[in-house]
Amino acid sequence: MTHDPKNAEPVLLVGSMAFDDLSLPTGEFPSVIGGSATYAAMAVSLFAPAQIVAVVGEDFPEETLEALRQRGVDTRGVERAQGKTFRWAGRYAQNLASRETLDTQLNVFADFRPKLLPEHCEARWLFLGNIHPALQLQVLSQCGTARFVAADTMNFWIEGERKLVEEVLSKIDTLTINDEELRQLAGEYNIRKAAARVLTMGPKRLVVKRGEYGAMLFDEAGVFYAPAYPLEVEVDPTGAGDSFAGALFGYLAKAGRVDPTTLRQGLLTASVVASFNVEGVGHAALSSLTPARVTARLEELRRLVQVE
């Protein structure tokens, strides 16, 4: 993290921007800025420029978009549609280990059709956030130049749109997924067997997110395990998975390569960024994060598994 993120190639992010009504053990936090693209962009921009393709409603604050631009995020692909922004309401358990959805209002997100600008179509680093797999395929058909494509998905699509999810899998390099979704996608509980099965569906590698237990990478070089940083203060896990993915792909774009060592360094870096994310409500902790603090905690994370 010695050179300027602006010198790196941009990462194109397609996903959601939202309001989250968060019920946390520490209190009620209504209308927190959220969404997979927002969290991912905040994290990417620690390392590389980000470009967002998303939709917001008339109620989404212009200041948030301006703050993203200040961080080097290209928001020209953020469409402002008539109506309200996507809103999710959730309540976390006292220990933050589980959450329940209280309400989902798709609003303008219901009709979201990603509109790529000409410069987006030259993107070489593409992350498809967790949106309908049909939309992920639409974006893919417009981005023929991408040399690195990653996608996220979720149980809802795996259950309801398996064929489309499998088509997405056949066209991407990297799948990011949490462990429960991986098990569901593979129809296999054992993580190692499940990963092997999903790797036969197309992607070159899997990044399996395991929350407070870290993340695992499955690729041709084998298995890599990035532990989670053991936090003393855990406030809000919302967006941790998206900031993890954003940090990983931002890190790769900055490095300009996707070899096994860079990937592994990227996973550790992503684990660190996600850990900061959890320390504040929404993206509060992420927005004040600096590369220097990432580097310092990365050193702590490395020591966590160091024998000598």
| Binding stretches for a copy of itself (CB under 8 A) | 94-95, 189-193, 210, 213, 216, 222-227, 230-234, 261, 264-265, 268, 303-308
- Within 8 A by CB and 6+ apart from 54, the residues are 13, 14, 15, 16, 17, 35, 37, 38, 77, 78, 79, 112
* Closer by beta carbon to a copy of itself, 162 or else 192: 192
Q: Which is nearer to a copy of itself, 118 or 222 (CB)?
A: 222
Residue (156 or 213) nearer to a copy of itself, CB: 213
Is the Cβ–Cβ distance between 242 and 261 less than 8 Å? no
CB of 274 to a copy of itself, least distance (A): 16
- In angstroms, the CA 38 to CA 232 distance is 25
Shortest distance (Å) from residue 89 CB to a copy of itself: 24
Nearer to a copy of itself, 41 or 208 (CB): 208
CB closer to a copy of itself out of 202 and 227: 227
Closest distance of CB 41 from a copy of itself, Å: 26
Neighbours of 264 (CB within 10 A): 16
- CB 271, min distance to a copy of itself, A: 11
Q: Which residues contact 277 (CB under 8 A, 6 or more apart)?
A: 39, 43, 237, 239, 240, 243, 244, 283, 285, 286
If the CB atoms of residues 90 and 227 are measured against a copy of itself, the closer one turns out to be 227
For a copy of itself, the closer CB: 140 or 195:
195
The residue among 144, 101, 100, 106 whose CA lies nearest residue 126 is 144
Spatial contact of 139 and 163, defined as CB atoms under 8 Å apart: no
Closest separation in Å from C-beta 47 to a copy of itself: 17
The answer to whether 171 touches 140, Cβ cutoff 8 Å, is yes
CB 68 within 8 A of CB 92: no
Least distance to a copy of itself, CB of residue 204, Å: 19
52, 96, 101, 131, 256 from 141: Cα distances, Å: 17, 38, 33, 15, 23
CB of 195 to a copy of itself, least distance (A): 9
Tokens read off for 10:
């941009």
